[in-house]
Amino acid sequence: MIRKAVIPVAGLGTRLLPLTRALPKEMLPIGDKPVIEHTIRELVDSGIDEITIVTSARKELVQRHFAPDADLERELRAAGKDEQAEAVAELSSLAHITYLYQNGPYGNGTPVLNAARVIGDEPFMVLWADDVFVAEVPRARQLRAAYEATRAPVLALMPMAVEDASRYGVPIVEEDLGGGRLRISGLVEKPRPEEAPSRYAAIGGYVVTPGVVAELEAATRRWHDRPEGEIYLTDALHRHAAANPVYGQVIDGDWWDTGTPLNYLRAQFAAALADPVHGPELRKLARES
Ligand code: G1P
C-alpha cells in the first residue's frame, strides 16, 4: 500500500525565467489553482495524503499557500465572507504536509533520496509539480494501481511525438502487457529523436521502491568520492531495471505540461476552457477571436 508521496520543488525553474524569478514555477496558476495545488489534490483524490515537499529557501510561497491562517479566517468570517473562510480552512487541512530542505548534490535524485531517508523502508510516490492531468481516474491512482499489481517501481508515461524526445526520459520497452502497462528494461534521458528507444515520455510521476533508493544511495556515495555530475532519478531507475522488474504505465487522461512557455500558455488556455462556470463564455470568446 502506498501512503506517502514526495514532491520536489527545489528546482530553479530556469525554462520559465523571468516569470519565475520571484514566483516559484510550482505556484504558477493553471485555471484557479497553482500547479502544486493540482498535484496535491490529485494525490489526496488517490488516497495519498502524507506528503513531503522537498523545498528551498526561495520557495517559501509554497509553504504559505498551504499554511493555516486563523487570523485571515477570523477576518473573513467577521466580514461575512464565510465561503472564502471555508476555502482557506479547507486548503490548510487538505493533506499532512511536511517540508524538508534539500541537502546534497544537484539533480532530481537528491530530493528523492533526502525524503526517502525520512520516509524509511517503504515504497512511495514521487510527482514533479509541473504537469497537470485531467483524468477520470487521477494519474496518481493509476500509478498506484500499477504498483499494487506489479510490486515493482512504476513510471507514468504518455505517448509523445518523437521530435520531443530530447525533453524527456524515454523508456526502453521490453513487453506490452496490455491496459497501458509496459515492462521496461531501462530509460534513456533526453535522447536525440533518432536515438529515442520508444515513443513514450516519462512524465514526472514515479513509484519509487527501496531498491531504487539503494541506487540513489550508491550514486551519492560515488559522487562523494568524485564530486562531479548530478544525481538523477532516471539513472537510478535505469540501473535498477538492469537486474529487476520495472514497469511503465501509460496514463489515461489529458496531459497539460507546464514546463515551457508555450506549454504553460496552452495549459492555461485548456484550463480556462474547461472551467465549469466560466468555460462556456470563454469558448465563445475563443471562437470570436
Ligand atoms: C525530468 C526527468 C525526465 C522526465 C521529465 C518529465 O526532467 O529527468 O526523465 O521525462 O522530468 O517532466 P526535467 O524536466 O526536470 O529536465
Q: Report which ligand 1 atom has the smallest distance to the Cα of 11.
A: 15
Distance 162 CA to ligand 1 centre (A): 16
Report whether residue 13 contacts ligand 1, using a CB cutoff of 6 Å.
no
Residue-wise pLDDT tens digits, 212-225: 999 999 999 999 99
Average per-residue pLDDT for the chain: 94
For residues 98 and 52, the answer to whether their CB atoms sit within 8 Å is yes
Distance 278 CA to ligand 1 centre (A): 33
| Calpha distance 271→33 (Å, rounded) | 10
pLDDT surpasses 90 at 146:
yes
Model confidence at 162, pLDDT cuts 50, 70, 90, reads very high
Residue-wise pLDDT tens digits, 3-42: 999 999 988 778 888 988 999 999 999 998 999 999 999 9
Q: Which pLDDT does position 13 carry in this prediction?
A: 77
Considering only CA atoms, which of 258, 287, 279 is closest in space to residue 30?
258
- Asked whether the bond before 210 is cis by omega within 30 degrees of 0, the reply is no
Residue-wise pLDDT tens digits, 234-253: 999 999 999 999 999 999 99
Q: Where are the alpha helices (DSSP H) in the chain?
A: 35-45, 60-66, 70-78, 82-92, 109-119, 139-150, 210-225, 233-241, 261-274, 279-288
Report whether residue 237 contacts ligand 1, using a CB cutoff of 6 Å.
no
Q: Which pLDDT does position 131 carry in this prediction?
A: 85
Distance 167 CA to ligand 1 centre (A): 7
Q: Which pLDDT does position 15 carry in this prediction?
A: 84
Q: Which pLDDT does position 205 carry in this prediction?
A: 96
Helix %, strand %, coil % for the chain, to 5? 45, 25, 30
Owning domain of residue 176: 4-288
Q: Is the pTM of this model over 0.85?
A: yes
Q: Which pLDDT does position 44 carry in this prediction?
A: 97
How far is CA 120 from each of CA 54, 59, 210, 229, 245, rounded to the nearest angstrom?
Answer: 16, 25, 8, 26, 21
Average pLDDT score over residue span 58-87 = 95
| Calpha distance 140→123 (Å, rounded) | 14
Residue-wise pLDDT tens digits, 113-131: 999 999 999 999 999 998 8
Model confidence at 79, pLDDT cuts 50, 70, 90, reads very high
Total domains present in the chain: 1
Report whether residue 200 contacts ligand 1, using a CB cutoff of 6 Å.
no
* Residue with grid cell 541506487, as numbered in its chain: 215
Q: Which residue has the higher pLDDT, 10 or 110?
A: 110
Three-state secondary structure call for residue 52: strand
Report whether residue 168 contacts ligand 1, using a CB cutoff of 6 Å.
yes
Distance 67 CA to ligand 1 centre (A): 28
Report whether residue 128 contacts ligand 1, using a CB cutoff of 6 Å.
yes
Residue-wise pLDDT tens digits, 150-159: 999 999 999 9
Torsion angle defined by CA atoms of residues 143, 146, 151 and 153, in that order, rounded to the nearest 10 degrees? -50
Model confidence at 75, pLDDT cuts 50, 70, 90, reads very high
Q: Which pLDDT does position 105 carry in this prediction?
A: 82
Report whether residue 108 contacts ligand 1, using a CB cutoff of 6 Å.
yes
Q: Report which ligand 1 atom has the smallest distance to the Cα of 168.
A: 10
Considering only CA atoms, which of 138, 222, 229 is closest in space to residue 189?
229
For residues 8 and 112, the answer to whether their CB atoms sit within 8 Å is yes
Q: Which pLDDT does position 179 carry in this prediction?
A: 95
- CA triplet 49, 181, 172: central angle to 5 degrees? 110
Q: Which pLDDT does position 250 carry in this prediction?
A: 98
Average pLDDT score over residue span 75-95 = 96
Q: What is the CATH number of the domain that holds 74?
A: 3.90.550.10
Distance 85 CA to ligand 1 centre (A): 37
